[in-house]
Amino acid sequence: MSINDFTFFYASLTRFMLNFNQFKQLLLKFLSFSDIGCQILWLIRKYRIRWFSRK
User: If DSSP states are collapsed to H, E and C, what string results for 18-55?
Assistant: HHHHHHHHHHHHHHCCCHHHHHHHHHHHHHHHHHHHHC
The total of structural domains in the chain comes to: 1
pTM score = 0.32
Q: Which residues form the domain of 23?
A: 3-54
**Could you tell me the CA-to-CA distances from 6 to 20, 26, 29 in Å, in that order?**
20, 30, 33
For residues 34 and 2, the model is more confident at: 2
pLDDT of 41 higher than 60: yes
pLDDT of 52 higher than 70: no
